[in-house]
Structures are given as structure tokens and as C-alpha cells.
Amino acid sequence: MASDVALPIHPVSGRSTTERRGVDRFASPQRRTRPPAFAAIDLGTNNCRMLVGVPSGPAFHVLDSFSRVVRLGEGLYRTGVLSDSAMDRAVDALAICAERLKRWQVAEIRAIATEACRQAENGADFVARARSATGLPLETISPREEVGLALESCASLINQAERRALLFDIGGGSTELAWVRVPGMGADSDRNLPQLIGYHSIPVGVVTLSERCAGWCETEAGFAGVVDEVKALLRPFEQIHRIGQEIRQGGVRLVGTSGTVTTIAGIALNLDRYRRGAIDGAVLPRGQVADGLASICAMGRAGLAQHPCIGPDRVDFVLPGCAIFAAIEEMWPTQDLAVADRGLREGMLMRMIRSARSRHRRYNA
């Protein structure tokens, strides 16, 4: 039965005592000597991902990670609802995350859902079901917060730009863009985050495009048509902020974080297999990026499935993602592209760690 009784708020975390008990259930008594860990879970339109880390210097040390393709948004474009099978897959993946969290002494957990749950008529019901089944504090976040988390995770890359940066994240159900002002030279990305000038979210991602435009991107004409459609969705953002004019003046960097971008980078770098260390933080000249994109488009479906940087599980999403990227790059052609193999999970961890440090300084002042 619903209750309107206010829950007491924990004096340190700002969370209710009921929510704190939900976190404490994942603490492991065998890990008491380890620094408190933080856990971040990102349930997207296509994947469920988890990252557990402890503070280390200006960032964090990873203790555990998990990723599974759940295709939560499968069929959403056609039906407007999350299917029973898709919800079952997502809850199963979240249950695995909850079980793995029992290994660690977890100080705080953040679990988010994004575009699929924002769009679906039954998105809120699914989130409630997932919370009840797993004990995880799953919540659906807004596009604005999604942009903020991506900004947090990519701050160190953005801060290397001269004046401005355009950050984009090509997801499963949507694509987010952030137009940001870069801090002064020598800025500490842990304390001095880039300043958000404006953001834009379009309801187009690799999953939605793969369902709506199945097969289109496999032909040159179809690919070009999808690129034009995406550019039309981006044009209002350009009209407001005149990013193209800023690019022509110089000092603007394009920063991409998504599986699409890291795949293009892997192909452009001629990697024999995907290696995060070679890709995360790489800055590629525009010509090299164009060569990588052209190589992907020329592979054909069989070639994409066989390539070690892609594989059969992602073959349906590569070309739709490339079409979104091509639209962004054609709309805002910069001299180079900074590639980030990081995203919402890293942003959540950085934000939780930064908040914990701030509380520690405040209480010990």
C-alpha cells in the first residue's frame, strides 16, 4: 500500500535510510580493509553495463566491470513499449550486477536508465519492476543529465582543446551533443569541469536506426539518405549556436564517445583487435578518420561480422552509427577527432567520488 510518510534522510549521503539499507546489502564483510568502492550501472537501449571502482589519484581504479547486450529497446520504434522478452533480459542482467556487487564494500551505487525507458509507455513500470526484483536504485535520467555525465567522463580530453569542444555520444536510442567552453590552460579536470554552453538530444540511435532503416545503410544512396535525415535533426542546434562559424575561427575540437566512434578509430588505426589503451584518448586527423569510415562502409555485412574490432553481435548497428557520425562530421568538420572509450559509467563514478571528497573536506574543515 502506498504511503505518504516522509522517509528520514541520511545525514551524509542525502539518501533515505531505506535507500541506504539497499546499498548496504551489497557490502562484503570480507572487504573491510579495502577503501570504499563506488558502483555505476548504465542500462541503455542496447546494453547493460556496470563499473565498480575505488578512488585513485584524480580518478579511480577499476575493481570490477560487466557488460551484456540486452536489447531493451528492441521493437520500441514500432510498438512504443518495451517487450516482455526485452524487459526479462534487462532484469536478468541487472540481477547479475546486483549479485556481483556483493563482493565489494560499496559506499554508493548509482544505476540509471536512458532513452528506451524515457520513450516507452511502460518505461516507468519497468523501472519499478527492476528496482523491486534486484534491489538496485534504478532511475531514468533526463537527456540533460545524460549529457552532464558524458561531460564529466570526458573532461580531461575536452580540456585539451583550445577554446571550445563539441562532445557527442551516439547511443542506442538517442544521440546527445554538448557544446562546451574549455577551462583555462592547466585546468584540473577533477575540479574545473568544462562549462556547458548548450546541449541537444535527437531521438536517433544505432538501435532505432537499425530497425527503422534496416538495410538502407548498406547501399551508398541509402547511407547518404540517412545522413541527410540526421543532419536535418542537427540543424536547429547549429542555428542556435553557430558552431560552424566557431570552427572556422579555429580552436574547436570534436570529441566522440560511443561504440561507433571507437570502432571507427580501431579501423582507422589498423588494429588487429580492439585495444582500449590504443583508442581511449587518441586524437586522429580528419583524413585518417575519413579513411576509417570509408573502410567500414566498403566491408559489406560479412566483412563487418568477421572484423575483430566489430564482430557478429554488432554488425546490425555499425553502419547506422556511422551514418549518424557522418552527419555530425559533415555538419561540423573539425581538423581532428578526440576518441573516448568512456561514458556514463565513468561519469557517474567521477561524480560520486568528487562528491565524497567534497563532503570529506567539508566535514574535516
What pLDDT is stored for residue 302 in this prediction?
87
Query: How many whole angstroms separate alpha carbon 299 and alpha carbon 276?
Result: 23
What pLDDT is stored for residue 357 in this prediction?
79
Domain boundary among 142, 172, 205: 142
Q: How far is CA 97 from the centre of its chain?
A: 18
199 and 297, same domain (yes or no): yes
131 and 28, same domain (yes or no): yes
User: Per residue, what are the HEC states of 172-185?
Assistant: CCCEEEEEEECCCC
CB count in 10 Å sphere of residue 213: 19
What pLDDT is stored for residue 287 in this prediction?
96
What pLDDT is stored for residue 33 in this prediction?
63
What pLDDT is stored for residue 191 in this prediction?
53
What pLDDT is stored for residue 187 in this prediction?
44
Residue 350: inside a domain, yes or no? no
What pLDDT is stored for residue 97 in this prediction?
97
Helix (H/G/I), strand (E/B), else coil: 66: strand
201 and 108, same domain (yes or no): no
Query: How many whole angstroms separate alpha carbon 127 and alpha carbon 199?
Result: 26
Residue 98: inside a domain, yes or no? yes
Domain boundary among 142, 165, 189: 142
What pLDDT is stored for residue 183 in this prediction?
85
Domain boundary among 142, 167, 188: 142
CB count in 10 Å sphere of residue 309: 23
Residue 96: inside a domain, yes or no? yes
Report mean pLDDT in 10-residue bins for the chain, 365 residues. Answer: 28 32 46 77 96 87 93 92 97 97 92 96 98 97 94 92 95 95 62 88 92 84 94 97 96 94 94 90 96 93 87 88 96 96 93 82 67
What pLDDT is stored for residue 34 in this prediction?
66
CATH of the domain at 228: 3.30.420.150
CATH of the domain at 34: 3.30.420.40
DSSP string for residues in 70-125: --TTTTHHHHSS--HHHHHHHHHHHHHHHHHHTTS-EEEEEEEE-HHHHH-TTHHH
Identify the bridge partners of residue 66 per DSSP, sorted by sequence position. 50
What pLDDT is stored for residue 16 in this prediction?
33
226 and 304, same domain (yes or no): yes
Half-sphere exposure of residue 7, counting CA atoms within 13 Å on the CB side?
A: 13
What Å distances lie between residue 132 and 115, 129, 149, CA to CA?
21, 5, 25
Please, what sign has the CA dihedral across residues 299, 286, 308, 169?
negative
The number of helix segments (H) and strand segments (E) in the chain equals: 15, 11
Query: How many whole angstroms separate alpha carbon 64 and alpha carbon 51?
Result: 6
> For residue 181, what is its C-alpha cell?
567552453
199 and 318, same domain (yes or no): yes
Query: How many whole angstroms separate alpha carbon 219 and alpha carbon 211?
Result: 16
What pLDDT is stored for residue 180 in this prediction?
97
Residue 361: inside a domain, yes or no? no
268 and 133, same domain (yes or no): no
Sort residue 185 into left (φ over 0), alpha (ψ -120 to 50) or beta: beta
271 and 125, same domain (yes or no): no
189 and 267, same domain (yes or no): yes
What pLDDT is stored for residue 279 in this prediction?
94
What pLDDT is stored for residue 185 in this prediction?
52
Domain assignment of residue 33, given as a range: 17-142
Residue 260: inside a domain, yes or no? yes
- Which residue type does 327 have? A
164 and 138, same domain (yes or no): no
162 and 230, same domain (yes or no): yes
- Which residue type does 351 have? R
276 and 224, same domain (yes or no): yes
Count: domains in the chain: 2
Residue 61: inside a domain, yes or no? yes
Residue 3: inside a domain, yes or no? no
What pLDDT is stored for residue 192 in this prediction?
76
What pLDDT is stored for residue 94 in this prediction?
98
Residue 8: inside a domain, yes or no? no
337 and 214, same domain (yes or no): yes
